[in-house]
Amino acid sequence: MSAALYDLPGPRARRRHRWFGIAGTLVLLALLGWVLVLLFRTGQFTAAKWTPFLYQGIQDLLLTGLANTLRAFGLAAVLALALGAVLAAGRLSAHRPLRWACTVLVEFFRAMPVLVMIFFIYVALRAEPLTALVSGLALYNGSVLAEVFRSGVHAVERGQGEAAYALGMRKTQVMVHVLVPQAVRAMLPAIISQLVVALKDTSLGFLITYEEFLHAGKLIAANLDYDLPFIPVVLVISPVYIGLCMLLSWLATWAARRQRRNPRVEPGEVAAPEPATLRTGDHRAHG
């Protein structure tokens, strides 16, 4: 199939691609070397800047911040998925007032900057920092996920729903048993991408004094006793965020593979037909 979609590269093209790959790798290595040279020149790898990470108190501060980040993300992700499902169901409803109301909510919260919502809930409603952060993230990401869910359901072939209705299934049964299971595979990458956005947006919590991971890093980076270790803090915190995002992507890949191996969605093996045998009456007829 791949050969039918495009011409396979010949020897000269493969050689040219190989040289392009080598040149691109050398350019990236040169940029990385240049950045490292700049960091060494500015004294970012001196012992004084990396000393705080050896103390138990600093390590506990970072671990507490990481735990608070994961707590806020877990709550926001669950609430966003639930809110997105409810709003998507409302937008798919046959009742016009409900559909319009859900459309207004989705468009409003999706257009509103998430930081504005967090500040409004924190200042105007005088909510706790965790409540304000989780509520703002849930409202914004839930409205985006509502569109993801609605688009995924609409992406399923129309004949699937029509066949289910022809069998006498109600709309709820068609949605739960026919459309949503088929749409999950198409929606999964977009859902994980939005959850990654929610995970990174938890760093906005430091603006409302929520003691999350970035807030802990800011406290360390602003410490004059360790010569303002801003770059070391970035080099420590950034890989953690990247690792968490990669973990979410891995979970999405694992869930997709598990769904493909699910016997409910995989066609069963059809046994080969046995050789036909003539019955006595058929033998006499042929005779």
230 exposure class (CB count in 10 Å sphere: 0-12, 13-18, 19+): middle
Separation of alpha carbons 211 and 71, rounded Å: 11
pLDDT of res. 7: 67
Average pLDDT value over all residues in the chain: 83
- Confidence check: pLDDT of 269 > 50: no
Q: Provide the percentage of residues in the chain whose pLDDT is more than 70.
A: 87
For 133-162, write each residue's pLDDT tens digit: 999 999 999 999 999 998 888 777 777 777
Show the tokens assigned to 250. 């891995």
- Confidence check: pLDDT of 6 > 70: no
- Confidence check: pLDDT of 50 > 80: yes
Separation of alpha carbons 64 and 70, rounded Å: 10
- Confidence check: pLDDT of 244 > 60: yes
For 15-36, write each residue's pLDDT tens digit: 888 999 999 999 999 999 999 9
Q: For the chain, list the domains and their CATH numbers.
A: 44-260 (1.10.3720.10)
Q: Which residue has the higher pLDDT, 48 or 77?
A: 77
Phi, psi of 46 (to 5 degrees): -70, 155
Contact in structure between 160 and 182 (CB atoms under 8 Å)? yes
pLDDT of res. 138: 96
Q: Which residue has the higher pLDDT, 263 or 85?
A: 85
With CA atoms as reference, report the closest residue to 189 among 255, 235, 136.
255
Helices of type H across the chain: 2-5, 11-41, 47-50, 56-91, 96-111, 114-119, 129-155, 158-166, 171-174, 180-201, 213-221, 230-260, 280-286
Q: How confident is the model at residue 1 (pLDDT cuts 50, 70, 90)?
A: very low
Q: Which residue has the higher pLDDT, 162 or 42?
A: 42
Separation of alpha carbons 146 and 81, rounded Å: 8
Separation of alpha carbons 154 and 152, rounded Å: 5
- Confidence check: pLDDT of 231 > 80: yes
pLDDT of res. 14: 85
pLDDT of res. 136: 96
Give the relative orientation of helices 129-155 and 180-201 as an angle to the nearest 10 degrees: 150
Mean pLDDT of 57-80: 95
- Confidence check: pLDDT of 283 > 50: no
- Confidence check: pLDDT of 176 > 90: no
Tokens 């409810």 belong to residue: 86
